């Protein structure tokens, strides 16, 4: 998906360098008439390397530059001199990027740290003629050519890395909550699927501590099967430490919505249900005190560990308690 400066899915073409040719040079020196073969080996072609960069947060650069090519290896020369290795093509990716083969769809690797990963190996350099001398062939006048490089097409998918991920139906108040808790300025409007890309913000906590919160685009029933661009959105939930389910107070059935969200996560990846979570009933300023008390009693019967909080991003109600709860869960 692409919106603004955030890009989380691109296709790129890469090609490694070919190996250098081996040399067929024959040794020439004063007073030595038949010096024999001394051709050096060719250098290897450059690799295509993926490396994580913690300072990057989007795949925007790959939207404009789709082709990446490593240099070719140098040819061998006299005195058994090996040709120079081709310069590697180092592609820096944000942490959380998944690299897939474009043709087979196979997962190649996931970038989780700054350790370099050789995605496409350069061609091996050819051997020089001195390797082929023998008692019956003392002056070989041939050498190996370098091995050709490889070409590969990759799909790059970025999964947002955050401490807390906001999960909920479209128009549930997730973006408004992110704007109320952080300095982020997501697009907010009164229609579904206002958010089409994840938004990140830093929540300031007491004692100069903080954590990162991600506003994930809305999920609907059938998202695990691709409905409503579900596959694009669900992958961003995988790399969040804690999930905050945001359910609007004006929903027809609060707990039915929660069950649908949990079921979609289970269908997409059952491991997502193992993550710690907190439930926030948003837009609670629409409820009067009596109705809110009835809902709290029902919530206490349905959920354990006091996981349900009533908040209002517009009225700034319950936000401090929510931050404290999330901080406790993150550090538990």
Q: In the listed set 158, 190, 223, which residue is the last one of a domain according to the structure?
A: 158
Is there a contact between 47 and 122 (Cβ–Cβ < 8 Å)?
A: yes
pLDDT of residue 1: 42
Q: How many domains is the chain partitioned into structurally?
A: 2
Is the per-residue pLDDT at 94 higher than 80? yes
Closest CA to 233 of 269, 203, 280: 269
One domain, residues 85 and 186: no
Alpha helices by DSSP H, 157-229: 174-181
One domain, residues 147 and 181: no
Cβ of 287: how many Cβ atoms within 10 Å? 17
One domain, residues 125 and 39: yes
What does the CA dihedral 85, 91, 96, 101 come to, rounded to 10 degrees?
-80
One domain, residues 6 and 147: yes
Domain with 27 in it:
2-158
* Token couple for 174: 């997730």
Question: What does the pLDDT look like over 124-171, one tens digit per residue?
Answer: 999 999 899 988 888 898 999 999 999 999 999 888 777 888 888 888
265-277 b/e (C-beta count within 10 Å ≥ 16 → b): beebeeebeeeeb
pLDDT of residue 71: 96
How far apart CA 220 and CA 330 sit, in angstroms, is: 27
Q: In the listed set 158, 179, 195, which residue is the last one of a domain according to the structure?
A: 158
Strands of 89-94's sheet, edge to edge? Answer: 89-94, 48-53, 117-120
One domain, residues 141 and 168: no
How far apart CA 27 and CA 261 sit, in angstroms, is: 76
Strands 67-69 and 9-15: parallel
What average pLDDT score do residues 105-131 get? 92
Give me the percent of the chain exceeding a pLDDT of 90.
29
CATH code for position 167: 3.40.50.300
One domain, residues 29 and 115: yes
How far apart CA 330 and CA 320 sit, in angstroms, is: 15
Q: In the listed set 158, 192, 224, which residue is the last one of a domain according to the structure?
A: 158
Residue 109: enclosing H or E segment and its boundaries? strand 107-111
Q: Rounded to two decimals, what is the model's pTM?
A: 0.72
CATH code for position 153: 2.70.210.12
pLDDT of residue 303: 66
One domain, residues 135 and 51: yes
């Amino acid at each position: 998906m692409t919106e603004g400066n955030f890009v989380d899915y691109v296709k790129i073409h890469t090609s490694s360098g070919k190996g250098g040719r081996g040399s067929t040079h024959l040794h020439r020196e004063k007073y030595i008439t038949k010096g024999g073969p001394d051709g050096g080996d060719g250098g290897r072609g450059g690799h295509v390397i993926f490396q994580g960069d913690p300072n990057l947060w989007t795949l925007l650069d790959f939207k404009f530059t789709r082709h990446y090519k490593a240099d070719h290896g140098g040819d061998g020369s006299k005195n058994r001199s090996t040709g120079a290795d081709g310069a590697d093509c180092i592609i820096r990716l944000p942490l959380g990027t998944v690299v897939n083969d474009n043709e087979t769809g196979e997962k190649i690797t996931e970038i989780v740290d700054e350790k370099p990963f050789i995605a496409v190996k350069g061609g091996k350099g050819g051997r020089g003629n001195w390797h082929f001398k023998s008692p019956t062939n003392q002056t070989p006048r041939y050498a190996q050519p370098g091995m050709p490089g490889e070409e590969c097409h990759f799909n790059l998918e970025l999964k947002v890395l955050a401490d807390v991920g906001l999960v909920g139906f479209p128009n549930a108040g997730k973006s408004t909550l992110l704007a109320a808790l952080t300095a982020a300025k997501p697009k907010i409007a009164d229609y579904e699927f206002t958010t089409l890309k994840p938004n990140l913000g830093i929540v300031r906590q007491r004692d100069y501590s903080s954590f990162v919160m991600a506003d994930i685009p809305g999920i609907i029933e059938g998202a695990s099967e691709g409905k409503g661009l579900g596959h694009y959105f669900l992958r961003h939930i995988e790399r969040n430490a804690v999930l905050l389910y945001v359910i609007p107070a004006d929903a027809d059935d609060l707990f039915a919505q929660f069950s649908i969200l949990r079921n979609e996560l289970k269908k997409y990846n059952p491991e997502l249900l193992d993550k710690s979570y907190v439930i926030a009933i948003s837009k609670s300023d629409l409820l009067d005190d009596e109705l809110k008390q009835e809902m709290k009693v029902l919530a206490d019967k349905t959920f354990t560990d006091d996981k349900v909080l009533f908040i209002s991003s517009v009225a700034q109600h319950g936000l401090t308690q929510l931050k404290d709860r999330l901080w406790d869960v993150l550090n538990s």
